[in-house]
Amino acid sequence: MKKSSNQPAAPTIYDIATAAGVSPGTASRALNNIGYVKTETRQRVEAAVKDLKYTPNRAARTLKTKKTGLVLLAIPDTDNSFYVDMIKAVQDVCKEHGYSMILYYTDAIPVEEIRALRMLREHYADAMILVNFSFTSGYLKEIDRLQAPLVLSGICKDDIGGRPGDRFDYIGVDAEKGVFQAVRHLARQGHVRIGYIAGPAEFLLFRERHNGYLSALTESGIPYSDNLVIWCSYTESCAIRAVKSFLALSEPPTAICCANDIMALAAQRYIQDAGLRVPDDISIVGMDNLDVTTKVRPMMSTVAIAQAEIGRAAANLVFGRLAGTEMRSSIRQIFEPRLIVRESSILCSCCKPRKEYWTGNA
């Protein structure tokens, strides 16, 4: 702690000006290297700053310049490590530009996301990156009255709310294609009964991923089977339940694709603890390429989505908007997901991927 009571008030630029024998305006110019200031005057001001331990008041500066030096990053949650790379990337770019970052967890609740948008309107920050799972029409009303750059990330379909692409920038990933790659990979391994643990249908993200499952089946000529798809939450426990119901089928799937790694890892553990082998009895592929996927045995096949790149791209775009150097009307950048085949989905041992355990990378 630090007592905030009966301390001498922090020095202002007026104190500096008095101490240096100049006017506040001159002191300001001296400190910001703007306009004409005699070298000797500047030195007197700098000496006064050092002497009085002066630091400028952000609010006062912001009030006049209308720049907060803050970027607001709103993300769904932190329960999994899914977002840390993105957070780090955004923070890094912010630092490069001398900016700081406000982090706001929305818990994937629309009300919270709108609250975050309102923070932007109240000039808490100069710009905002909003990562969302869903996309409610309530956004658009809020977005339309924004005065500051906004970059959306996560999920945003073109057809929601009437060409939202015209209203904001979007940097994200092709959710459908990720699952498509994973399921096609399983089909190419010869699997025909491929289970899919789909996650919660209320989030657009998971509906998109489910579409990937469907289109991979179609492409592979595998007929759709209703009891091989299980909608649920996105947690471990519901993955377990899903696997149980798969195993209870007269013809259980020989491969399972999960809509995220958390569920895939839980499924793999449950299958192993039940005495079955992965991938020999059941192959598994996850989604998101969490760090953990290289730390289990067998190492989990999964789909990488370039969180760090997305974060960097979003942040760079934000600063492009702020600087006015990015003139294009609205930018839409979709990163490709990348299938990473590891051990949990390779049947033929002769073609197993090289073990690169210790790099943590595949």
- The answer to the question of residue 342 lying near its own copies (CB under 8 A) is no
Among 36, 53, 325, 348, binds its own copies (CB under 8 A): 53
Residue 178 · residue 212 · CB < 8 Å: yes
Q: Which is nearer to DNA, 123 or 338 (CB)?
A: 123
Identify which of residues 9 and 248 has a Cβ nearer to DNA in the complex: 9
Residue 26 contact, options DNA, its own copies, none, Cβ 5-8 Å cut-off depending on partner type? DNA
User: Taking CB within 5 to 8 Å according to partner kind, which of its own copies, DNA, none is near residue 102?
Assistant: its own copies
Q: Which of 18, 46, 61, 222 binds DNA (CB under 7 A)?
A: 61
How far is 90 from 313, CA to CA, in rounded Å? 9
Q: Which of DNA, its own copies, none lies near 121, with the C-beta cut-off 5 to 8 A by kind?
A: its own copies
Block residue for tokens 């009255």: 145
3-class DSSP state of 250: coil
Instruction: Name beta bridge partners: 72.
Output: 102, 128
Footprint (CB under 8 A) of its own copies, residues 238-277: 240, 265-266, 269-270, 272-273
**Least distance between DNA and beta carbon 329 (Å):** 26
For the bound state, the minimum distance from the C-beta of residue 105 to its own copies, rounded and expressed in Å, comes to 5
Residue 6 near which of its own copies, DNA, none (CB within 5-8 Å, type-dependent): none
Identify the CA nearest to 289 among candidates 309, 303, 268: 303
Contact 140, 163 (CB under 8 A): no
Instruction: Scan residues 9-28 and list those touching its own copies (CB under 8 A).
Output: 10
Q: Whole-number minimum distance, CB 342 to its own copies, in Å? A: 14
In terms of CB distance, is 121 or 338 closer to DNA? 121
x-marked contacts with DNA along 18-57 as a string, rule CB under 7 A? ---xxxxxxxxx-xx-xxxxxxxx------------x-xx
Calculate the alpha carbon distances from 94 to 68, 90, 121, 146, 208 in Å: 12, 6, 20, 21, 31
Burial label for 76, CB within 10 Å (0-12, 13-18, 19+), is buried
Residue 211 found at the interface with its own copies (CB under 8 A): no
Looking at the Cβ atoms of 62 and 272, the one nearer to DNA is 62
Q: Least Å distance between CB 318 and DNA?
A: 21
Question: Could you say whether residue 2 binds its own copies (CB under 8 A)?
Answer: yes
The footprint of its own copies on residues 166-185 (CB under 8 A) is 167-169
Tokens, residue 349: 């041992």
Contact between 135 and 205 (Cβ < 8 Å): no
What, of DNA, its own copies, none, does residue 40 touch, CB below 5 to 8 Å by kind? DNA
End-to-end CA distance of the chain: 46
Instruction: Identify any residues that bridge with 339 across adjacent strands, giving them in sequence order.
Output: 303
Other Cβ atoms within 10 Å of 345 Cβ, number: 26
Long-range contacts of 15-24 (CB under 8 A, 24+ apart): 15/48, 15/52, 15/54, 16/45, 16/48, 16/49, 16/52, 16/54, 19/48, 19/51, 19/52, 20/44, 20/45, 20/47, 20/48
The residue count for binding DNA (CB under 7 A) is 33
Under the binding rule (CB under 7 A), the answer on residue 167 touching DNA is no
Number of H helices, E strands in the chain: 12, 12
CB-CB neighbours of 160 under 10 Å: 17
- Distance (Å, whole) CA 162 – CA 141: 12
18 binds, among its own copies, DNA, none (CB under 5 to 8 A by kind): none
Residue 2 CB, shortest distance to DNA, in Å, is: 17
User: Among residue numbers 64 through 93, which ones bind DNA (CB under 7 A)?
Assistant: 64-65
Q: Is 121 in the site for its own copies (CB under 8 A)?
A: yes
Contacts to DNA by CB under 7 A: 9-14, 21-29, 31-32, 34-41, 54, 56-57, 60-61, 63-65
